[in-house]
């Protein structure tokens, strides 16, 4: 397999903040249909890596290729249009709008195949909203005001808002923080479903959850990759136990 076959190819990536290398010569490949989990101690650079991929932070050096296209000099909104969606830790939903409206406003404009035929366009959007709402388990609460949803449901709604744009790479930073046991289970199932046909990168601390969802685990430490492989492999890696799992 050559490097050009990966959905995402991060190579020799470095970012320094006043001389401190938060990401230090990091290389990482993610496949299509893959659910990758990134773990590592606080300050390892996990969030910074996502910031770099989505264009929020600019690399000092190195390359980020998505479907063979260089992302490091692209604007944030062009990166979104290229198919990369990113969920931040705090949800950014519109609390006073319904679930339906939250999803509807996330539909990418100007992409309708029906052009000026407004009624066809409306139907297309409605169908897509319903499909996404069903996918995230909110299909029966479309008219509910988003502010009234449970914490977990709000997180799913934000995932749904990203899915409206049909991203080919979806990145989630600690998606189950604050969720109930049942919500965690459902989120695990949701992530398993939505990685089909795209790539998903999840940053997570909860090892039981990681075990349940990860296809492959990348362990970061001090801006570098400490280990990578199956959950079993990284869990039994002495380096990983030393800097992360042992504590
Ligand atoms: P993680 O998500 O793995 O806990 P982060 O990516 O948030 O780690 O942070 C990695 C390191 O980079 C930390 O030491 C953090 O303080 C530093 N850092 C992150 N963003 C910035 C920034 N914009 N300016 C300066 N330092 C930063
Ligand atoms: Mg973080």
Residue nearest to atom 27 of ligand 1 (CA): 17
Ligand 1 atom having least distance to the Cα of 22 = 12
Q: Of 28, 42, 48, which is best to mutate to test ligand 1, by the most ligand atoms within 8 angstroms of its C-beta?
A: 48
Integer angstrom CA distances of residue 38 from 139, 181, 192, 229, 230: 30, 21, 16, 11, 12
**144-169 residue pLDDT tens:** 999 999 999 999 999 999 999 999 99
Residue 189: pLDDT over 80: yes
Cα–Cα dist 97/93, whole Å = 9
Ligand 2 midpoint to CA 173 (Å): 7
Cα–Cα dist 246/235, whole Å = 10
pLDDT of residue 199: 97
What is the rounded average pLDDT for all residues in the chain?
92
SS3 183: helix
Mean pLDDT (whole number) for 18-35:
97
pLDDT of residue 88: 79
Ligand 2 midpoint to CA 91 (Å): 15
**66-96 residue pLDDT tens:** 999 999 999 999 999 999 999 977 778 999 9
**N-terminal to C-terminal alpha carbon distance within the chain:** 37
Strand partners, 11: 63
**190-211 residue pLDDT tens:** 999 999 999 999 999 999 999 9
Cα–Cα dist 134/142, whole Å = 10
Q: Which of 59, 61, 62, 41 is nearest to 50 (CA)?
A: 59
Residue 218, phi then psi, degrees to nearest 5: -110, 125
At residue 246 the predicted structure's pLDDT band, cuts being 50, 70 and 90, is confident
Task: Tell me the whole-structure pTM to 2 decimals.
Answer: 0.93
Given CA atoms 64, 28, 186, 44 in this order, what sign does their dihedral have?
negative
Pocket of ligand 1, beta carbon within 6 A: 17, 22, 40, 42-48
SS3 225: strand
């Amino acid at each position: 397999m050559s490097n050009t076959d990966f959905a995402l190819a991060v190579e020799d990536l470095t970012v320094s903040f006043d001389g401190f290398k938060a990401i230090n010569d990091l290389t990482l490949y993610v496949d299509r249909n893959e659910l990758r989990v990134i773990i590592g101690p606080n300050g390892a650079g996990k969030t910074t890596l996502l910031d770099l991929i989505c264009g929020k932070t600019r690399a000092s050096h190195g390359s980020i290729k998505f479907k063979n296209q260089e992302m490091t000099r692209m604007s944030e909104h062009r990166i979104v249009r290229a198919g990369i969606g990113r969920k931040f830790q705090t949800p950014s939903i519109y609390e006073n709008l319904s679930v339906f409206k939250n999803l509807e406003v996330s539909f990418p404009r100007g992409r309708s195949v029906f052009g000026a035929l407004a009624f066809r366009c409306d139907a297309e959007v409605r169908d897509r909203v319903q499909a996404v709402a069903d996918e995230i388990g909110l299909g029966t609460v479309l008219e509910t005001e988003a502010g009234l949803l449970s914490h977990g449901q709000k997180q799913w709604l934000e995932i749904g808002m990203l899915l409206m744009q049909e991203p080919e790479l979806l990145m989630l930073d600690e998606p189950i923080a604050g969720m109930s046991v049942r919500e965690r289970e459902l989120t695990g199932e949701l992530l398993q479903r939505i990685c089909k046909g795209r790539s998903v990168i999840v940053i997570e601390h909860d090892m039981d959850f990681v075990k349940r969802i990860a296809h492959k685990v990348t362990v970061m430490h001090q801006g570098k990759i400490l280990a990578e492989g199956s959950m079993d492999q990284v869990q039994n890696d002495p380096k990983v136990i030393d800097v992360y799992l042992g504590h």
